[in-house]
Structure formats: C-alpha cells, structure tokens
Amino acid sequence: MSHATPLDIILWEFDQIAQIPRPSHHEEKIGKYLADWARERGLSVTCDELGDVIIDKPAAPGCEGSPRVILQAHMDMVCVAAKGVAFDPLRDPIKVVSDGKVLRAEGTSLGADDGIGIALCLYVLQDETLRHGPLRVIFTVNEEDGMSSVDMPAQYLDGDYLINLDWEWLGSLCNSAAGCDFIRLSRTAARIPAADGDVTLEVTLKGLQGGHSGVGINLGRANALVCMASALSRLTEADIPVKIAAFSGGQAKNAIPAAAQAAVLVPSDLAQKAVHLLAAYEQDFVSAFGEKEPGYVYAVRQGDAAATGLDTDVSNALLALLTSLPNGVNTMSPFVSSLVESSQNLGLLTVGPEEIVLEAMERSCVNYRAEEILRASRQIAEALGFTYTQGDHAPAWGVNPHSRLVPVTCAVYKEISGADMVVEPVHGGLECGAFYEKNPKLDMIAIGPSLTGVHSPDETCDIDSVRITAELIVKVLERLI
C-alpha cells in the first residue's frame, strides 16, 4: 500500500479488525491478531495475564531521549444486532459499509468504539516516517463490561503521556472522568399467602427515555423504579395495607430504568380507593416529567389474583428504600459549570421468590462525594432491613491543572482546523481512571473521531474526523519530542 494515504491505511486496518469477533470477555482472537501483527513488523510485544497487548515502537532516530507517549484503545466491543438480524457475536464478522462520508455496519453495532482507536494506533505503529519519542501502544481487554484495566500491572503504564482513543467527538478533548461503585441491596423475600378477598392490582410504567446513567443522568429523565415506588407509596400513606406480589424493572445497572411493572395485593374493601390513588399519580408524573417523557405509558388495572405477596412490613420497607436512596444527580461541580460531580442510578430491581435485589451504580469525580452517597445508601438500606454489599470499583480521573498535553493538543487542533478544542470532563467512566491510580504522573487526555449511536445498531463513524484525528495524533507526537 505504498501510495495509500494515512486514512486509507486506517480504514483498511479497521476493516481487518471488524472481521474478528470481539465481544467483551472474548478478546483472545483479536489479542492474538494484534500481537502477531506487531511481531511481523519486528515490534516488541508483551501480553499481560489479563490478555492486554502492549507494543513498543522505538523512537525515531535522534528522539531516543524524548518522553515516552502511550497510545491506548480497548479491544472489546458491545455487539448489538438490529431486530430480526441473525448475528452471533462470537462467530460473525461485522460487515462494514461506507458511503464515503460515514462508516456503519450492516444490521449490527459497528465497533468503531473502540476499533477505530485500534486502527489509528496500527497506523502510527507502521508509518516509519513519523517523528516521535519512544512510543508504547496498549490494547486493553474488557472495557465495556467491568473495566478490567483496574487490574493491569502498573509496570506497563510507565510513561510520561497517555492518549486514550476512546472518545467519541472530534473537536472535544476529555481531561477528567468520574469513578464509579456498584452496590447491591438485598433482603429475604418473606412471602405470605393472599388473604381472602384480596384484590390484585397491576401497575405498569413504560416507554420512558432511559439512557446512560452517567452522561444522561442530568437530563431530567424519570427513573421508572423510583416512579413506581412513589405511586405505590401513596397507598401506604393512605393507610392501605399493601402486599407486593411482583415488582421489577431496569435493564442494566448503568442504564436509567425505562420501564417497571408491579402487582400489589390490597384488601377488597379498599381496592376502589387504591385504584383511584394510583390513577391520580399519573397527573403528578406528567407535571414533573411531562416534556421529558413524551412516550410514557402508565396503566393501572385489576390483574389475575396473585397467590402470595411480600408481607406488609417488607413491602413498606422496599417502597421506602426506593423512594429514600440517593437517585439521580447528587451534586454539581462547584468548579466546572454544568458538570455533574456525583450521582447514583438505581438500575435493576428483582423481587424473586426468595430474595429482593436492588442494584445501583454510584458515580463521582470526587471521592468525598462517593463516600457520602455510599454511606447514605448503606445507612438507609440497613435501617430498612436490607443487606448492603459494595461491588466493583473504578477509580476517578481528576483534572491535572499542570497538564502539558492538554494545551499542546488544543494548539495543534487549532492549527489543523482553525477551531478551538473544547476541553471537557465527563460524568462517565474512562480507563484513564484506572491508569491514573497505577501511575499518577501520567499526563493524559482522551480524544477520538466523531461517533454516533455507539452500543447500538445505529452506530456510525465520521470518516473525515478519522483523517483529522490521525493528523492530530501525529502532530501532537511530534510536538512532544
């Protein structure tokens, strides 16, 4: 490909990567492909025990003493197929289609998150005309489902600068990300039989916007679980004894629940009143969320008789839990306008035959606020008879006020495009948090070409933004010599 442009090379490499199935937790094939790719070119390759691939490219002649720059991208992708499309994420390649302006995939997610980041790295590794100091490329496993980089051995992060290529908008640069904690609240589901004459009422709330629990948490969207609990609490507040027969909702810990459904047992002489109170909730929902939730569907109806329900005390405790726990935005940053500093998302609820489980995710860029949310959650849970368990933790990446990489990248971007680069912290997670914990001296940014609809079959990648991102990386590397 001697006459190929950098963009041609990147798109060709991306096409090759797209042939290799690589859902999270299944990165062996792509890892081997990348390690072989580098060995064939005489580059030094190491694989750590997680499966991360670390490739070193020597400095250009005369630049041996320059700072070491690490370029980094993740190997896994979120594989999603459109309705009706047969797709086996473990076997089937992604079919990339291009109209000359935009890349997309036929019927599935594209995997430009983060395959285009990998392709950009492969370009930098193979172009021998580039001028840069010692260069390391790190390809990580399992970013999308648990952020495995928190366990990466620190020795591989020995460098001065790190450019993460898992950002989705050219023209913006990320300089800080939130950390997160997963929590699980559980309690034995003490069930009792329905009393004679109990009436079962079914309540449904669906069609909400939902969305990402990090970057979407401040958009004023309704959490279906919390709304459902608010509706049902009206019964207990009116002294109607409630036995929850069923209650579930949410799709993932890190997504705002878009739907919830519940069934409650109430005494027959109070059923009319209960239906009336539950129906009246709709008006309040609309006044609180109206324009934000145009597609909502709320319905109350008498259902098939449930045989058992949680006893009234446990039912009340569950409703109190859902309406009292911190949910949504907790604090806004006092330093960066419109940045959410801390939040929590009550993401998944199941009321099983034996156990009630609520799973939530807290995010914060300040440890103090994380502790505040976790402490409140634990105290509320324990006071209501639930067991509190803290799960996985991903560290935050704070703003580095002394960064050299940020101003250098902004200056180069301005030279290339004439536009000012937006520097923005994000209320979502990035692997930079894990790297920061291992090597606090790393000066880091996240950049990348413009993607839309990631993690969905509508994912696209803007081709011209790939070209500009490559130019940006090349010139920043040169400037850091």
Residue with Cβ nearer Zn ion (118 or 358): 118
Closest CA to 250 of 272, 228, 232, 280: 228
Exactly one of 13, 52, 76, 437 is catalytic; name it.
76
What's the token pair of residue 313?
């005390």
The one catalytic residue among 27, 113, 143, 362: 143
* Only segment of 164-172, 238-246, 398-406, 464-472 that touches Zn ion (CB under 5 A): 164-172
Rule CB under 5 A: is residue 459 a binding residue for Zn ion?
no
Residue 181: CB minimum distance to Zn ion, A: 20
CB of 166 to Zn ion, least distance (A): 4
198 vs 431, which CB is nearer to Zn ion?
A: 431
Among 166, 359, 431, 443, binds Zn ion (CB under 5 A): 166
In the complex, least distance from residue 208 CB atom to Zn ion, rounded to whole angstroms = 25
- The footprint of Zn ion on this chain (CB under 5 A) covers a number of residues equal to 3
**Closer residue to Zn ion in complex, CB, 75/277:** 75
Binding to Zn ion in span 211-270, by CB under 5 A: none
Residue 425 CB, nearest approach to Zn ion (Å): 17
Q: Three-state SS string across 144-166, please?
A: CCCCHHHHCCHHHHCCCEEEECC
CB of 74 to Zn ion, least distance (A): 6
Chain centroid to Cα 229, Å, comes to: 25
CA 257 remoteness from chain centre:
14
Q: Do residues 281 and 235 lie in contact, with contact meaning Cβ atoms separated by under 8 Å?
A: no
CB nearer to Zn ion: give 180 or 208. Answer: 180
Least separation in angstroms between residue 476's CB and Zn ion is: 20
Verify binding: residue 168, Zn ion, rule CB under 5 A.
no
Nearer to Zn ion, 166 or 443 (CB): 166
| Candidate segments 59-67, 109-117, 335-343, 465-473, binder of Zn ion by CB under 5 A | 109-117
Beta bridge partners of 175: none
Around 219, how many Cα atoms within 13 Å sit in the side-chain half-sphere? 18
114 lies in the site for Zn ion, by CB under 5 A: yes
Instruction: Report helix, strand or coil for 255.
Output: strand
Site membership for Zn ion, residue 76 (CB under 5 A): no
Q: Does 113 bind Zn ion (CB under 5 A)?
A: yes
For residue 143, indicate whether it is catalytic. Answer: yes
With contacts defined by CB under 5 A, name the span among 111-119, 184-192, 335-343, 455-463 that binds Zn ion: 111-119
Q: How far apart are CA 85 and CA 72, in angstroms?
A: 32
Question: Which residue, 250 or 429, has its beta carbon nearer to Zn ion?
Answer: 429
Query: Quick one: which segment of 49-57, 113-121, 299-307, 360-368 binds Zn ion (CB under 5 A)?
Result: 113-121
Measuring CA to CA, which residue among 479, 395, 390, 451 is closest to residue 172? 451
Residue 166 CA: distances (Å) to CA of 77, 111, 139: 11, 11, 11
Q: Which is nearer to Zn ion, 113 or 160 (CB)?
A: 113
Q: What's the token pair of residue 163?
A: 């450019």
Binding segment (CB under 5 A) for Zn ion, from list 161-169, 215-223, 406-414, 423-431: 161-169
Please tell me whether the peptide bond between 239 and the residue prior to it is cis, using omega within 30 degrees of 0. Answer: no
Which residues, in sequence order, are CB contacts of 176 under 8 Å at separation 6+?
365, 396, 397, 398, 399, 425, 426
Phi/psi of residue 169, nearest 5 degrees: -145, 120
Amino acid residing at 3: H
478 is catalytic: no
Please state, in angstroms and rounded to a whole number, the distance separating the CA atoms of residues 440 and 192.
Answer: 55
Distance CA 349, CA 440 (A): 37
**Residue 114 preceded by cis peptide, ω within 30:** yes
In the complex, minimum distance from the CB of residue 38 to Zn ion, in angstroms, rounded to a whole number: 21
Residues near Zn ion, by CB under 5 A: 113-114, 166
Task: Enumerate the active-site residues.
Answer: 76, 143
